Amino acid sequence: MFPYAPTPTPSPTGDFLDTMEDSATALKEACKSGKGLTCSILNASFPDGVYPWVPLVAGIIDALLTLCLILAVALVVRSVAHRLITRVTLRASEGVLPERLRNRSLNSSEASTAILTERRRQRAETMGSVLRSLSSVVILGTAALMILSNLGIELAPLLTSVGIIGVAVGFGAQELVKDFIAGMFMLLEDQYGVGDVIDTGVATGTVEAVTLRITRIRDADGKVWYVRNGTISRVGNESQGWSRAVLDVPVPYEADISVVRELLKDVAATLWEDPEYRDVLLVEEPQVYGLEQISDKAVIFRISVKTAPAQQSDVARELRIRIKRAFDEKSMVFAG
């Protein structure tokens, strides 16, 4: 009579109820087999068939106890891991600045030590934060997989889906991942830090901030550059260890070479013996190399001075002032 009568289809509510019924049946069967502490106690206390709801309740209690136990163990392991990481990073960040320096002004050498101590602390704190985040992801992720497995959810399709999503996200965010990995290695190797004068190829200036993703640099003109760590293929650091001030002094071709050389040596020795600059000239006494270049109009003498990090410009300016004063006292002139 009704050739086009619609075929009944199961409703979503029916599917949900069927799933709940299957889960309840699975819990009952698991409880009847004696799995779980609660099931063992209740099976021994209540004969089978007298109270049909006992296996279901016992199964639910055992499942909840298992889930709570997994979560509690995961939180405890996470807390212990965080404590260990924090202790290691705090020990790594302990500075070498003596206690007596904290209540008085610092000279150049002591200030350099204080800067290194602060950089070491910042580097340790950053790596500690990264390690704590990684440990949380690993531990809580493992606990979540164990909970899903205990709930009867198949992990293979879930992990496959997550893997596909991870690959897609990885392709989309590969530049971001590259920046973070480069930033981590930069911090571990202490390639540069806040206050250093560096040359990254795309920008040259003083480092104002360093994160895992970008480095902020201010150049000599005051312009701020934001450089992604993953794009930095080389770094020239002018503030690490020691610096060098190189000064060329041109004098007329007719000048007495021996007189000029002795005069420059006297100026360099005076600077070396000056108490004000003794902490800046760290490594060795200034060197007067002699003739660096010769032309038909001038001869050029070169002076080289090793200084504390980032102090080469100040030392070079002071040397120019002293050389100009010494030349004026001897009535000598510079080559044009």
Q: How far apart are CA 264 and CA 258, in angstroms?
A: 10
Confidence of residue 42 (pLDDT cuts 50, 70, 90): low
pLDDT, the chain, mean: 76
Check residue 238 and give its pLDDT: 81
Phi, psi of 16 (to 5 degrees): -65, -40
Check residue 8 and give its pLDDT: 47
**How large is the average pLDDT for residues 219-237?**
90
CATH class as words, domain 182-237: mainly beta
Q: How far apart are CA 265 and CA 288, in angstroms?
A: 6
The region of weakest confidence among 14-23, 209-218, 244-253 is 14-23
Write out pLDDT tens, residues 155-184.
Answer: 777 778 777 877 777 777 788 888 888 888
Could you give the percent of the chain with pLDDT greater than 70?
72
Q: How far apart are CA 266 and CA 245, in angstroms?
A: 17
Q: Taking 90 as the threshold, does the pLDDT of residue 226 lie above it? A: yes
Check residue 78 and give its pLDDT: 92
| Stretch (H or E) spanning 164 | helix 155-172
Domain span(s) for CATH 2.30.30.60 in the chain: 182-237
Check residue 181 and give its pLDDT: 85
Check residue 101 and give its pLDDT: 36
- Residue with the bigger pLDDT between 59 and 87: it is 87
Confidence of residue 52 (pLDDT cuts 50, 70, 90): low
Q: How far apart are CA 45 and CA 51, in angstroms?
A: 11
Write out pLDDT tens, residues 81-126.
Answer: 999 988 887 776 664 443 333 333 344 455 555 656 666 776 777 7
Confidence of residue 244 (pLDDT cuts 50, 70, 90): confident
Q: Taking 70 as the threshold, does the pLDDT of residue 34 lie above it? A: no
| Matching CATH number, 243-329, of 1.10.3720.10, 3.30.70.100, 3.30.1490.190, 3.40.50.700 | 3.30.70.100
Residue 215, burial from CB neighbour count under 10 angstroms (0-12, 13-18, 19+): buried
Q: Taking 80 as the threshold, does the pLDDT of residue 49 lie above it? A: no
Neighbouring C-beta atoms of residue 277, cutoff 10 Å: 20
How far, CA to CA in Å, does 311 sit from each of 149, 200, 301? 63, 20, 22
Q: Taking 70 as the threshold, does the pLDDT of residue 66 lie above it? A: yes
**How large is the average pLDDT for residues 204-223?**
88
The region of weakest confidence among 32-46, 62-76, 294-308 is 32-46
Domain span(s) for CATH 3.30.70.100 in the chain: 243-329
DSSP 8-class letter at 50: T
- Residue with the bigger pLDDT between 203 and 33: it is 203
